[in-house]
Structure 1
Amino acid sequence: MTATATATPGNRGILRVNPVAKLAAALLLAGVLVLTIDWVSAAVALACELVLFFWAGMSFRIFVLRTLPVWLAAPAAGLTTLLYGQAAGAEYWQFGLIHITDGSVELAVATLLRVLAIGLPAVVLFVTVDPTDLADGLGQVVRLPARFVLGGLAALRLVGLLMEDWRALERARRARGIADRGVIRRLSGQAFALLVLSIRRGSKLATAMEARGFGGTTTRTWARPSDFGRREVALIGLGLFVGALAVAVSVATGSWNFVLG
């Protein structure tokens, strides 16, 4: 299984960037945006991101398909905040626990933009990440324990197999005539069977990895070097610049609303 987008001449540049840099840039930008609840900082960050997405190398179709959950989640979060957010200023409509005021409208807009500003770059960056490259980067650049990194890589590689097992169980149960009715009962029984199968496969995989020395305390060698150079520094610098610009504009306009203040 791989989570990467199809390599095209336009996105080879972003594919060559070390996954650790992509992770750092996404976390850096998200960390800045979660410090405040205001629409100005989120709008500035989102505007910069939309411009930078043109150089990400993803086709418009792939961009829309991969980021569709974010586009659906953002309005839902904004609507919930609009209806149940903090009441402040003039009240436009009220019914029971639902109230729409100046404060809830402003908070809803800020929430919608923050979800987009945090979610879109995360999806765009991680859609071009190969799990093996990420494990190499975490082990060689971040210096995380090899046992933890390789165990996580093995688990991630089994996600695709888990989906295949689910489809195989569904076909087998249908062939035996035990999946024709009772949706809740069928899904619960199939989920339990998948859980048992996953535990057994995980135990076998753990034993096999231990037998091959993955649990040893000696320093491991890596088949592929994980380079961290100017491209990675530039990407992290872009994330830092966008975050700093969003904060600067928010503070300058008086919109900065520190969440811990």
Structure 2
Amino acid sequence: MSADATAAERRRGVAGLNAVAKLVAALLIALPLVVTIDPVSAAVALVLELPLLLAAGLGWRRFWVRTTPLWLAAPAAAVTIALYGQRSGEEVFSWLFVHVSEGSLVLGLATLLRVLAIGLPAVVLFVTVDPTDLADGLAQILRLPARFVIGGLAGMRMLGLLADDWRALSLARRARGVADAGRIRRAAGMAFALFVLAIRRGSSLATAMEARAFGAPTPRTWARASRLAPADLLLMAAGLAISVTALGVALAVGAFHPIFGPA
């Protein structure tokens, strides 16, 4: 996908909102849902999240590419819980260490829905977040220490260099004739070399930032102002409404099952 197409996606729908609003909305959806492990609240949350996912401003191809790990991890977790989870109710199937019961099947279904209900909005909301916009919002809106925020931003910007460094190390070792055998040993050696290179680059970057007064105790100024608009508040309210409604429905039908409650 071209840079122009990616920038256009970031300006559409929810993608064009403040990065802090997306972060808060994702947390408001996720945190209340992790206190219970019932399928009702997760299913309700998934249904209510559909308008948010459709308004995220992502193309269908990019949506499926980005969320593929979730669609693979959720069924895998559900099957594992169903086969090896806590037994309750009538036993359905048993073989060696595998004991499938009605309770473990319900727990597996709840796990499947919960992974999707928590993971989908988090992935979709953060796909279009620019690291610089997020750093501006964290420092100006949430009032996090500027030194911490700028250091984190610098580290995130350096992550993109790791793939280039790995490729350069691979080519250099192959040119010296030390990359023809022993894949595991070669990968371990390259990983250690990449680790040392990252430490050296981080030290140089820290020294350069200190020399430019990035760590000064005086109040900082920012090139771009980051403020919450009414649409950002609406997004956060929607995230809170989704989780509250999901928990309310689970309580109303008697399906609420706190994770720290009695077995």
On the 8 A contact 2:147/2:215 being kept in 1, the answer is yes
Structure 1 residue 86 and structure 2 residue 86: aligned?
yes
| Contact 1:147 1:214 (C-alpha < 8 Å) held by counterparts | yes
Q: What is residue 233 of structure 1 aligned with on the other side?
A: 233
**Alignment length (residue pairs):** 259
Could you say which residue in structure 2 is the equivalent of 1:248?
248
CA positional deviation for 1:184: 0.7
CA distance in 1, matches of 2:103, 2:13: 43
1:105-254 matches, cutoff 5 A = 105-254=105-254
% same residue: 60
Asked whether the equivalents of residues 10 and 16 of structure 2 are also in contact (C-alpha less than 8 Å), the reply is no
CA displacement, residues 49-86 of structure 1 (integer Å, 9 cap, x when unaligned): 12321111211111000111111110111111011101
Where structure 1 has 5 or more consecutive residues not aligned to the other structure, the ranges are: none
Moved more, 19-28 or 9-18: 9-18
Distance apart, 1:171 and its partner CA: 1.4
TM-score of the two chains, using structure 2 as the length reference: 0.95
Q: Secondary structure at the match of 2:92?
A: strand
After TM superposition, the runs of 4+ consecutive aligned structure 1 residues lying more than 6 A away are none
Point out the more displaced range, 9-18 or 131-140. 9-18
Preserved contact between residue 4 and residue 127 of structure 1 (Cα < 8 Å): no
Gaps of 5+ in 2: none
1:10-55 CA deviation, whole Å, 9 max, x = no partner? 9523232111111101011100110100000000101111232111
CA distance in 1 between partners of 2:194 and 2:68 (Å) = 28
Distance 1:33 1:256, change over 3 A: same
Task: Kindly provide the amino acid, as one letter, of the partner of residue 85 in structure 1.
Answer: G
> 2:214 & 2:7 partners in 1: Cα distance?
31
Distance in 2 (CA, whole Å) between partners of 1:40 and 1:250 is: 6
Partner of 2:48: 48
Counterpart secondary structure, 2:6: coil
CA deviations 1:192-227 (Å, max 9, x no partner) are 110110010000000000000011111100010001
How well do the aligned residues superpose, as a CA RMSD in angstroms? 1.6
* Residues 25-104 of structure 1: pairs in structure 2 closer than 5 A: 25-104=25-104
Give per-residue Cα distances to partners, 1:87-136, cap 9 Å, x unaligned. Answer: 00111111232110001000000001000000000000000100000000
